[in-house]
Chain A
Amino acid sequence: MLVLIGILIILAGFLLRFNPLLVIMASALATGLAAGLDITAIIAAFGKAFNDTRYVSIVWIVLPVIGLLEAYGLQQHARTLITRMKGATLGRLLTSYLLLRQGMSAVGLTSVAGHPQTVRPLVAPMAEAAAEAGNDALTDGQREEVKAFAAATDNIGLFFGEDIFLAIGSILLMKGVLEGYGYQIEPLHFSLWAIPTAIAAFLIHGFRLRRLERRMQKRESDA
């Protein structure tokens, strides 16, 4: 029961907006001590895990390319492209991206798109331009919301597409865990049961994107 102290530290730390890196380290130390580990063992365990998960941080190698292209006006070009396209509304644009991201993830291509690779240089500026096409400039609050929805759409497309792919980590995990209980299940069965939720995710988020589009057509500078 005492090991739950780490969760409390995380909750309190995030709520009080302490630096998250400090909060994580404090939580790891407290949890390890509560479980009876000594401090060097906790530091070593954390260090080993940090080294084993370095692949999580290699996505930043795309930044020099994005930096170069943005300095030469990639975001402006993405905007121009959208304003020239007739009928490219905010809702249609993001719904198409949602479908594309779900489809690509469903065939296992999860790392092809993402926040540094596609959302910041392309999807977010395109969404802003689509929201402004034939209308006034967005207010600051609206611009923030449009960008946040561009990122949200990427996440939702990824999460509710990837589980349809047979060889994704989560399916292998489910297969492995159920095998431990003596159930032999083909990966295909897990994949097929991910489809109803994928459709529901597309309908729910697509509906919200339509409502976002309507909301962004009004310019009321409310405080």
Chain B
Amino acid sequence: MITLGFVYVLAGIGFALFALLGLQDRSNSKRFGNAAFWGLLAVSMLAGDRLGDFGNGLLVLALVAIAGTGQIGRAPGGDVPAGVQTERAARHGPFLLLVALIIPAVALAGTFLFKWIPGLADPKQATLISLAIGVLIALAVGMARLKPPPLLPLQQGRRLLDAVGWAAILPQMLASLGAVFALAGVGEVVGQLIGTAIPEGSLFGATLAFGLGMALFTMVMGNAFAAFPVMLAAVGMPLLIKQYDGDPAVVAAIGMLAGFCGTLMTPMAANFNLVPAALLELKNPYGVIKAQVGTALPLLAVNIFFIYLFAF
């Protein structure tokens, strides 16, 4: 049976090759830092389960030390000239689009297939496993037809990853910080603070505090999942559901969506907000957040109004 372990091995090999190719790139003055950074990530993917908790912790400290002292960077240039790209696009265009669509198509088909036929792959991880298989198929089909120099996909992939840089592991780092916050009981303290700030006897005040609290605490944690149990315990359960007899399904469902509005407005949700800015090579790292605030704020107001309207 295929498990997530297979995907980790694949990712580990990928990062190891990025590290080796990076080491050979003499045009990059920071090639040693890059090679060490992606090499450590390869170790984490391939052998993380055997390093032990403290060993993994030391690995993270090394990653932070390399990135935090500015030891990683990207080589200038290396782009395929625009003229060549345009000429190739005229020749291969429809085929390229087809290959690009193989990845989502296989992810889609695999998700259903692995759930219908049990035993092939871990059904809980069906989409991620299918995504990895889709990548392998797309790569094979593309290589067979385009016949590029054998290392071209890895070299170009490495350049894209170097452009993203240390932001590539930011989401994983923030998720880990969330675990330390949980261990230290940060959530309970914030919940108590918000709980004491609500005017007594006002149903609308309580609803407002619940919705705003979900959004604000999500912005701090970068994740609505971390905010939900805290805000429910502090405001949702004692006031909205118990005291004012609100419908728990409405309070929970729409409260969670109020939290999602917070996710749109915070750099802490790095995989949604900062990583795409790096991937699209935006000058402003907060450009995506800027584009989202205008949707998030009115939608947050709508969510708070919906709780008030539908729950009571």
Q: Is A111 an interface position by the 8 A CB rule?
A: yes
Q: Complex: how many Å from CA A11 to CA B11?
A: 32
Range class of the B interface residue count = 35 or more
B173 touches A68 (CB 8 A): no
Stretch at the interface among B23-31, B150-158, B195-203: B150-158
Contacts of A58 in B (CB 8 A): 7-8, 10-11, 45, 128, 132
Q: Which of A42, A64, A72, A174 contacts B157 (CB 8 A)?
A: A64
B160 and A177 contacting across the interface, CB-CB below 8 Å: no
| Shortest Cβ distance from residue A75 to the other chain B in the assembled complex, whole angstroms | 8
Contact of A51 with B49 in the complex, beta carbons under 8 Å: yes
Contact mask B289-308 → A, CB, 8 Å, 1/0? 01110110011001100100
Does B224 make an interface contact (CB < 8 A)? Answer: yes
Are B169 and A46 interface neighbours, CB within 8 A? Answer: no
User: Which of A85-93, A130-138, A140-148 lines the interface with chain B?
Assistant: A140-148
Partner of A46, one of B179, B253, B272, B299: B179
Number of A residues, CB within 8 Å of B: 110
Smallest Cβ-Cβ distance to A25: which chain B residue: B64
- Return the chain B residue nearest A150 by Cβ: B280
CB atoms of A24 and B291 under 8 A apart? no
Q: How far is the CA of A149 from the CA of B292 in the complex (A)?
A: 8
The answer, yes or no, to whether B172 is at the interface (CB within 8 Å) is: yes
**Main secondary structure on B side of the interface with A:** helix
Q: State how many angstroms separate the Cβ of B235 from the closest Cβ of chain A.
A: 13
* Set of chain A residues within 8 Å of B250, measured between Cβ atoms: 193
Q: A61-B10, A148-B291 are in contact. Are A7 and B60 (CB under 8 A)?
A: no
> Which 5 residue pairs across A and B have the least CB separation, nearest first?
A67-B156, A73-B89, A47-B57, A47-B56, A49-B179
A interface residues, Cβ below 8 angstroms from B: 1, 3-4, 6-7, 10, 14, 19-22, 24-25, 27-28, 31-32, 34-35, 37, 40, 42-78, 80-81, 108-113, 115-122, 124, 144-145, 147-152, 154-156, 159-160, 163, 169-170, 173-174, 177-178, 181, 183, 185, 189-191, 193-194, 196-197, 200-201, 204-205, 208
